[in-house]
Amino acid sequence: MFQRILVATDLGELSERAIDLAVELAKKAAARLTLVHVCEVPSYTYAAMGYDRTVDLLGPLQKAARSKLDARMATLRQDMPGAEAILRMGVPSEEILAAIVDTKADLVVMATRGRRGVGHALLGSVAEKIVRLSPTPVLTVRAAATRRRGAARRAAKRSAPRRAATKGAKTPSRRRRPRGRSAR
């Protein structure tokens, strides 16, 4: 089955489901598990800022990412003692694809937010790029539970004013206007 499983994570809540599933798969297949986190390097600068090369902008960013990744690995190694971690700097999709090749992964597991429409078109999707360009199979884990709770909450908010207005009162009947006749 699978010998090497790579989990791409942003170390956020949505990625936890993907990590849990990857751990389960790795245990069942007796596979090696590697977490990869890519710290995105800001690709913009302000011209008025006057970039000073002596100021280390990436050091604190990399240090914070390493600290978060190490903390996550400490808990992960309780379940998977042989798990490894990779921290990369750069464009997430490019670095994840490079990590797939470097680790010789048989399977990639990653979370997806499940954006659609304009949000997806504007923001793009790292998961979509990996699915399209990966040389190995990719298992995407959608954060469905949080979306359902959010959708239920929105639906409850929409119906709450209607319920409060009609509570204990009779619903007024609506008169239909006959079709084809003009109002006189």
**What are the angstrom distances between the C-alpha of 74 and each of 11, 48, 61?**
13, 42, 20
Burial class (CB in 10 A: 0-12, 13-18, 19+), 16: middle
What's the pLDDT at 81? 92
Q: What φ, ψ does residue 31 adopt, rounded to 5°?
A: -100, 160
Domain locations in the chain? 4-45+54-144
Reference 84, options 62, 97, 102, 58; nearest CA is: 102
The per-residue pLDDT for 111 is 92
Amino acid at 30: A
Q: How does pLDDT run along the chain (184 residues), one tens digit per residue?
A: 899 999 999 998 889 999 999 999 999 999 999 999 999 877 665 555 555 555 677 788 899 999 999 999 999 999 999 999 999 999 999 999 999 999 999 999 999 876 665 555 544 589 989 999 999 999 999 865 544 555 556 655 665 555 555 555 555 555 666 666 555 5
Contact predicate 6/36, CB 8 Å: yes
| Structure tokens belonging to residue 99 | 């990590």
Determine the Cα–Cα distance for residues 99 and 4; give it in Å rounded to an integer: 12
pTM of the model: 0.70
pLDDT of the residue at 36: 97
CATH number of 4-45+54-144: 3.40.50.620
pLDDT for residue 174: 57
